[in-house]
A and B are shown apart, each in its own frame.
Chain A
Amino acid sequence: MVEKLTVNAVLRPVAFSLSDVAVSYTRGQTTTTPLANFSVHIGDGEITCLLGPSGCGKTTLLKALGGFVPAVSGSIDFGGRQIQSPIPDVVMIFQDHNLFPWLTVRQNVAFGLRYARKSGASQPMSVDHMLELISLTDSASLYPHQLSGGMRQRAAIARALVIRPKVLLLDEPFSALDAGLRRRMQHLLRDVWASTKTTMVMVTHNIEEAILVGHRVIVLGNRPTSILLDVATADKNFDDRYSSAFLGLQRQIEAMIE
């Protein structure tokens, strides 16, 4: 974990090391391989955003990192462990919030705590602290259907983060939200990162979002999945969406994807 590698523009400790990973699905007689011979290192404690055209394998990559789809070949190394199935250290947030409708916000957020305490892993956060961090203290006793879209997605993030996973995987978490709310959620995610320093890998279609939220943006090319661009965006220049660096990069990525 502490070993420093200068790979793919990362100069940080590594959370995930993928080498020659292939993932394939079999449906009936046909087998598709969305990911083949793919290698990448994901930095520890930073937000990596994955961009790319539809069907380029970015969601598959995310699922492979979480162990939701097993790699048929190659290795996914996570701090010395091989990822083969989902583990509480790597938690995924889906496009749809998927809160449990029969539980209140507080109960939803507390869902994983029972298991986290049992396994005695890293010290979980208190539910109150988490609700405060995600600005949901006042809505703690409401049920998911009483919340707005943004609040639901926030609650889902809180439910994932409260058990203090080492990695948070986000699959287009804000795609269902309107532009204004989306921006607020992007800031919130950065704020949450600032106070937890959780490694995050986010798949998004929104180039601006990727540059703004991510410390590193990886642009994936179509099948076979390859890395077209790998750029560090932690620089202050990329915090202002109207700066020339920001707009330049945005234009460059747009040209690649289209």
Chain B
Amino acid sequence: MLLILWEYFGSIDGSALSAVIPPPSRVFTVLVQSGFRVGLGSQAASLPTSIASTFFRVFCGMALAFVAAIGTGAVMSLIPFVRWMTAPVLYLLAPIAPIAWIPTALVIFGVSNLTAIFIVFMGVYFILTLATLAEISRVPEEFMIIARNLGGRGVGCWFRVMLPAITPGVFMLLRTNFIAAWMAVLVAEMVGLNDGLGAIIMMGRNLFNSDLIMLGMITIGLSGFIVDRILLLIGTRLIWWRN
């Protein structure tokens, strides 16, 4: 339905709309004609490569943030002193938008994958750490009491009881925060990095090429949807005992 409306409004000759939003038939024709490559000359990158590099950045950043957040949450919940020391810092850094880190990241890591990964990491790490702490406090007190009563001690016991108890909740929050990470990496690609899906839009803007902008937007939308599905799949695996 949306496609039909878009095709209809985009194909009206001479309208301002068709200049800004070219119809899907034209966008896809351009895409096929260019052999799925976007860009000029030697700088041209194939569309699959762009998608792959954006995916790589988002997944790396999110995976690192997930592990680091659970690690931080664990240490904070086990050692009250660490909690007392780090909690204010966490609340101070959490509200900083991930895109605000872009200039700093560019200086530190240069124009590289690391920058994008760092920005994704910053976009989800703080919120996930706070989520981990919240999840830990929500785990029934009896779980740890019983585990200790049955002889469980120390970090090993924490990994056997607390980790499986909190992982699904934290992961679900990772999924909801994926959008933030996704936007952060796109912005990073627009302003700093030369490849990736964000770069396609910026290239379209620089070349006054609305086909390219449209193509970038469609790809971003579809890719985002696919990533969300993948995360959902991983999520249901993580709570296998409910299936």
Contacts and interface: CB of A to CB of B under 8 A. Distances in A.
Interface in A67-120: 68, 86, 88, 90-92, 94, 96, 98, 100-103, 111-112, 115-116, 118-119
A115 B152 contact: yes
Nearest to B142: A98
B229 interface: no
A96 B161 CA distance: 17
A111 B140 CA distance: 17
B242 A145 contact: yes
Interface string B38-76: 000000000000000000000000000000000000000
A98 B165 CA distance: 12
A141 to B, nearest CB: 11
B149 A143 contact: no
Contacts of A103: 241
A100 B150 contact: no
Given A98-B140, A143-B241, A145-B241, A163 B151 contact: yes
B-side binding surface: helix, strand, loop or mixed? Answer: helix
A116 B153 CA distance: 12
Nearest to A169: B149
Contacts of A90: 149
A102 B165 CA distance: 8
Contact of B145 (A68, A88, A118, A119): A68
A201 to B, nearest CB: 14
Contacts of A94: 142, 146
B110 interface: no
Interface in A38-82: 66, 68
A79 B96 CA distance: 59
Contacts of B145: 68, 86, 92
Contact of B148 (A86, A100, A145): A86
A103 B146 CA distance: 14
B164 interface: yes
Given A102-B241, A145-B242, A116 B151 contact: yes
Given A115-B152, A163-B151, 20 more contacts: A68-B145, A86-B145, A86-B149, A88-B151, A92-B146, A94-B146, A98-B142, A98-B146, A100-B143, A100-B161, A101-B242, A102-B241, A111-B150, A112-B151, A115-B151, A118-B151, A119-B151, A143-B241, A145-B242, A159-B150
Interface in A123-169: 143-145, 159-160, 163
Contacts, number: 57
B147 A111 contact: yes
A163 B146 CA distance: 13
B150 A92 contact: no
A115 B153 contact: yes
Query: What interface size band does chain A fall in?
Result: 20 to 34
Given A68-B145, A143-B241, A145-B242, A102 B164 contact: yes
B189 to A, nearest CB: 38
Contacts of A101: 241-242
A101 B241 CA distance: 7
B149 A92 contact: yes
B174 to A, nearest CB: 18
A91 B241 contact: no
Contacts of B142: 94, 96, 98
22 contacts: A86-B148, A86-B149, A88-B150, A88-B151, A91-B149, A91-B150, A92-B145, A92-B146, A96-B142, A98-B140, A98-B143, A98-B146, A100-B165, A101-B241, A102-B240, A111-B150, A112-B151, A112-B152, A116-B150, A119-B151, A143-B242, A163-B150
B173 to A, nearest CB: 18
Contacts of B147: 111
A124 to B, nearest CB: 10
Contacts of B242: 101, 143, 145
A144 B242 CA distance: 9
A52 B126 CA distance: 49
Nearest to B238: A102
Contacts of A115: 150-153
B164 A100 contact: yes
A159 B161 CA distance: 15
Contacts of A100: 143, 161, 164-165
B83 to A, nearest CB: 21
Contacts of B143: 98, 100
